[in-house]
């Protein structure tokens, strides 16, 4: 269930939406302040079973997801393709050299670190994921009209 919530939350975080101010519990705020002391430009949104904080930390844009009890579920940050492991960079060049990168982020949670990348060309949009850091799998593929 936790993996489903995290996956849905991450998918929602990649969509453009209007942030709304929400009331965040003191338990979640305390967990956030402990984990990300010195964070700037913090904005909060919430879902049914989680809170999402978008903020700047160490000069990077980060998004963190917390349970309603204050447990850190996971965090994402946008990265450059040169920040990917070499094996992932290499397989992109070999298998997807006719696509451009429209989105790329790193996901860190209790299961480890993974990557999600959106590739596009004139005909298709492909979202790949890597949970092992060594290979990509197709997460979603759509054809453009």
Q: What is the pLDDT of residues 48-79, one digit of tens each?
A: 899 999 999 999 999 999 999 999 999 999 99
- Name the pTM for this structure: 0.76
Q: Of 75, 137, 57, 81, which Cα lies nearest the Cα of 112? A: 75
Distance CA 6, CA 12 (A): 10
- At 3-40, the pLDDT tens digits run 544 554 555 454 434 445 688 999 999 999 999 999 99
Q: What angle do CA 37, 55, 127 make, to 5 degrees?
A: 130
């Amino acid at each position: 269930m936790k993996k489903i919530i995290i996956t849905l939350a991450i998918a929602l975080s990649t969509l453009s939406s209007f942030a709304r101010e929400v009331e965040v519990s003191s338990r979640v705020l305390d967990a956030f302040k402990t984990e990300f002391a010195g964070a700037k430009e913090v904005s909060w949104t919430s879902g049914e079973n989680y809170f999402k904080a978008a903020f700047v930390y160490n000069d990077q844009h980060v998004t963190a997801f917390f349970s309603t009890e204050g447990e850190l579920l996971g965090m994402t940050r946008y990265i450059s393709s040169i920040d990917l492991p070499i094996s992932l960079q290499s397989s992109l060049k070999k298998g997807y050299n006719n696509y451009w990168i429209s989105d790329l982020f790193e996901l860190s949670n209790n299961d480890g670190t993974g990557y999600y990348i959106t590739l596009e060309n004139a005909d298709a949009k492909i979202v790949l994921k890597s949970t092992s850091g060594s290979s990509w799998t197709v997460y979603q593929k759509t054809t453009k009209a």
